[in-house]
Structure 1
Amino acid sequence: MLFVCLLFLGHAAGVFRIEPGTASLPAFSAAWPVLGGLVLTVDFLLLATIGLLLSFSLPQLEPLPASLLTLGCTVPPVYLSYTGVLQPGVLPMEYYLLIILILFVINVLISYYAYSHQRQQIIDTFSHYVPVEVVRQLCREPDSFSLEGESRELTVLFADLVNFTRVAEQLEPMELTRLLNRHFDVMSSILLDHDATIDKYIGDSVMAFWGAPLVQHDQSSKALDAAFAMQEAVAELSRDFAERDWPTLDLCIGINRGDMNVGNIGSSKRASYTVIGDAVNVASRLERLTREYRVPIITSAHVVQSSPDYTFRQLDRLVLRGKQKPANIYQPLFKGASTANGDDAWLGMHDRAIELYIKGHYLQAHEQFSELLKLKPDDEYYRGMIERIDRLFD
């Protein structure tokens, strides 16, 4: 706006002239007496009004209203110029139109810069929770997702450190903070590398999900890939922590797939993009069962059905807390088919043992689990099942 006023006063007072074929720049001393009388002219008041209106209004308006306002501001100078109210010698009508155009273009450039800066801030912020490529796609296609609550079939993962209270007792607060930060930094990187949305950190555990905000058809496989990568990373971290005389870590993971509500959930003061529902609760309970069944990862039948590229073994059939119907629980073993190193024979024996156990043939199941423990002496799951059956007859 200051530029507009200077342009008007300078031209009208004869400080400079911009006309085809001529260019003049008289002394400033000759122009000063003229400037005072120009401020109250219709020409200056019209230009000042238009300039102030556009300067304050354009940044507040959406593109369409801003364009309409700019177009509307061209009408008064054109009309008053043709009716003779404006003095062409003071400021030609073309200058009014040029100045209006300049103000509009400047606003467009400023708005574009502000939008680009804001967009980059959004990408930087949400890339801590969602993969960067997902955030960029959301920025390009905002209609492809909604932050309002909606029901979707998603895959949710809970990962929790085992015996963290014992770990906390062995470290000073600063060391414990460094250990947790290092752990979460590695786990978060793995989850984001596998296209997860990190929901929240709860103490020493992390919650993440797949399938929102963008639809992912291979969400269960991505969750399993992430879970195995997290287990490998924890083993590597433990070796690093042992060199610092820090406690080693064990990670338990529960994964479930099902219908849940996803969206902005919270209060008017604070909300978070999260998932809720019975399927989420089931994933949390599966994570807790890993300690009881002595395995690192437990999944539901829904995950098994949607992950044909993984080989699983059934662990048990039980009624989860808060549920009424029994459900099968599984451990993912590896990616691919069970065709190497006698896996088919071993899994066949395992399936027979589980079938006997579920049907209540505990003595026969005990024999089968004992044979399996001889075959897999490092498998704590079989040792735990034998102890479970022994307690039934105590």
Structure 2
Amino acid sequence: SQPLQMLSMEAQAIGVGKLDEVEERRFPIREVDSLFRAKEEMKKGLRSFEKFVPRELVRELLASGREAELGGERAYLTVAFADIVNFTSISELMPPEEVVKMLSRFHGILYQSISETHGTIDKYIGDAVMSFWGAPVENPDHAFGACLAALHAQARLAEERKRIKDSSAPPIHCRIGINTGDLVVGNMGIPDRLSYTVIGDSVNLASRLEGLNRYYGTDIIVSENTYRAVSDRLIARKLDRVYVKGKTQGVFVYQLIGEKGKVEEKTLRDLQRYEEALEKYLDRSWEDSIRILEELQKGHPNDKSILLLLSRCCKFMEEAPDEDWDGSYRLG
């Protein structure tokens, strides 16, 4: 009876989503041995299934005893998009096998950073990765988790670039956009083919923010909602107020810098000076803004955001914007 008790206990464990490593055991009674091997095959199948859909979702379904159903619910979550800088240009010069290796390196680093902060990888879109925090397992600190994942991913990519410096492998640089807001999360698609994902305007904004990095020369941009949720623990620079595609009003965007206590004092002073220049710009005090920006430019000649704001101030000195101008800049 002991082998049967063991099988019963392990079946119950599988039923609540506990899928330990497959065990190699043999039993003298053929029927018991057959049951044990069938159980291990089922466990293998479920472990493989976890590689295609969020692990937490699989375990939640197993524990609840429910079948996955079409449908979603409103939730306040954080979404991130990340992709490789100049991926198309780089991949055109590489054999397909090397492209796959490069993507595997990139996706592996992102997976590690996302999973350790309790995020969910939604999908891989070519070189891009879409992920979110706060579902299927509820996490009130989802914005911080997303930002920490982004910082960790960039740090790991920097370490990898050092490691492969003398090899033929191409260095990987990445851009990330993060937004926090209302969206719909759940099983989308058709009853026979579901995808656990998030949809909504907040998702679109995260994607737009990722693209803005190209314009400002930055590597992580977050929305105002995200920044407000993490401002007590993380440092960010208020970059600009912009119109993004799909939005009728301007939104403030922030460059994520690092964790509080881990950013150098000089960097903090320069960030503060840039934000002072931005405030002068928004107040139409072009000359004051130019003076601060020119000082900053001496120490940061390659900071694209400084050059962009300086260029706009000079332009408005010659031709002021309309009276109803609210400081928002329309890109493109």
TM-score bracket, shorter-length normalisation: 0.7 to 0.9
In the TM superposition, what is the alpha-carbon distance from 1:266 to its structure 2 partner? 1.3
Instruction: Name 2:72's counterpart in structure 1.
Output: 149
Instruction: Name 1:103's counterpart in structure 2.
Output: none
1:336 is aligned to 2:263: no
Output one character per residue of 1:294-350: Cα deviation in whole Å (capped at 9) or x when no partner.
110000011011112112110001121111111110111111258852455433322
CA contact (8 A) 1:171 1:246 kept: no
Instruction: Name 2:126's counterpart in structure 1.
Output: 203
Instruction: Name 2:283's counterpart in structure 1.
Output: 359
In the TM superposition, what is the alpha-carbon distance from 1:376 to its structure 2 partner? 3.8
1:369 is aligned to 2:271: no
CA contact (8 A) 2:239 2:275 kept: no
Output one character per residue of 1:167-202: Cα deviation in whole Å (capped at 9) or x when no partner.
012212222222122221222222122211111111
Greater relative contact order: 1 or 2 (C-alpha under 8 angstroms, separation 6 or more)? 2
In the alignment, the residues of structure 2 paired with residue 168 and residue 340 of structure 1 have an alpha-carbon distance, to the nearest angstrom, of 36
In the TM superposition, what is the alpha-carbon distance from 1:204 to its structure 2 partner? 1.0
In the alignment, the residues of structure 1 paired with residue 249 and residue 304 of structure 2 have an alpha-carbon distance, to the nearest angstrom, of 27
Instruction: Name 1:251's counterpart in structure 2.
Output: 174
Instruction: Name 1:217's counterpart in structure 2.
Output: 140
Q: Which amino acid in structure 2 is aligned with residue 166 of structure 1?
A: S
Structure 1's 309 and 316: CA in aligned 2 closer, same or farther, altered over 3 A?
Answer: same
Output one character per residue of 1:61-88: Cα deviation in whole Å (capped at 9) or x when no partner.
xxxxxxxxxxxxxxxxxxxxxxxxxxxx
Structure 1's 224 and 361: CA in aligned 2 closer, same or farther, altered over 3 A?
Answer: same
In the alignment, the residues of structure 1 paired with residue 285 and residue 132 of structure 2 have an alpha-carbon distance, to the nearest angstrom, of 38
In the TM superposition, what is the alpha-carbon distance from 1:234 to its structure 2 partner? 1.9
RMSD: 3.1
CA contact (8 A) 1:318 1:328 kept: yes
Match of 1:385 among 304, 309, 317: 309
Instruction: Name 1:234's counterpart in structure 2.
Output: 157
Q: Which amino acid in structure 1 is aligned with residue 81 of structure 2?
A: F
Corresponding pairs, count: 285
Q: Which amino acid in structure 1 is aligned with residue 288 of structure 2?
A: Q
Output one character per residue of 1:24-74: Cα deviation in whole Å (capped at 9) or x when no partner.
xxxxxxxxxxxxxxxxxxxxxxxxxxxxxxxxxxxxxxxxxxxxxxxxxxx
In the TM superposition, what is the alpha-carbon distance from 1:118 to its structure 2 partner? 4.1
Q: Which amino acid in structure 1 is aligned with residue 246 of structure 2?
A: G
User: Helix, strand or coil: the match of 1:215?
Assistant: coil
Instruction: Name 1:159's counterpart in structure 2.
Output: 82
Give the 5 Å matches for 1:170-319. Answer: 170-307=93-230, 308-319=232-243
Counting aligned pairs with the same residue, the percent is: 33
Match of 1:346 among 249, 270, 277: 270
CA contact (8 A) 2:70 2:191 kept: no
Instruction: Name 1:325's counterpart in structure 2.
Output: 249
CA contact (8 A) 1:316 1:358 kept: no
CA contact (8 A) 1:311 1:338 kept: no
TM-score where L is the length of structure 1: 0.64
- Highest Rg: 1 or 2? 1
In the TM superposition, what is the alpha-carbon distance from 1:368 to its structure 2 partner? 1.4
More strand by share: 2
Instruction: Name 2:10's counterpart in structure 1.
Output: none
TM-score where L is the length of structure 2: 0.75
In the TM superposition, what is the alpha-carbon distance from 1:213 to its structure 2 partner? 0.7
In the alignment, the residues of structure 2 paired with residue 142 and residue 156 of structure 1 have an alpha-carbon distance, to the nearest angstrom, of 29
In the alignment, the residues of structure 1 paired with residue 259 and residue 70 of structure 2 have an alpha-carbon distance, to the nearest angstrom, of 34
Match of 2:50 among 105, 120, 126: 126
Q: Which amino acid in structure 2 is aligned with residue 314 of structure 1?
A: K
In the TM superposition, what is the alpha-carbon distance from 1:141 to its structure 2 partner? 5.2
Unaligned runs of 5+ in 2: 1-30, 320-332
In the alignment, the residues of structure 2 paired with residue 150 and residue 119 of structure 1 have an alpha-carbon distance, to the nearest angstrom, of 30
In the alignment, the residues of structure 2 paired with residue 146 and residue 335 of structure 1 have an alpha-carbon distance, to the nearest angstrom, of 40
Output one character per residue of 1:272-304: Cα deviation in whole Å (capped at 9) or x when no partner.
111100000000000000110111000001101
CA contact (8 A) 1:241 1:248 kept: yes
CA contact (8 A) 2:70 2:188 kept: no
Runs of 4+ in 1 over 6 A off after TM superposition: 112-116
Structure 1's 237 and 348: CA in aligned 2 closer, same or farther, altered over 3 A?
Answer: closer
In the alignment, the residues of structure 1 paired with residue 263 and residue 176 of structure 2 have an alpha-carbon distance, to the nearest angstrom, of 26
CA contact (8 A) 1:123 1:136 kept: no
In the alignment, the residues of structure 1 paired with residue 43 and residue 187 of structure 2 have an alpha-carbon distance, to the nearest angstrom, of 20
Q: Which amino acid in structure 1 is aligned with residue 290 of structure 2?
A: H
CA contact (8 A) 2:221 2:256 kept: yes
Q: Which amino acid in structure 2 is aligned with residue 150 of structure 1?
A: E
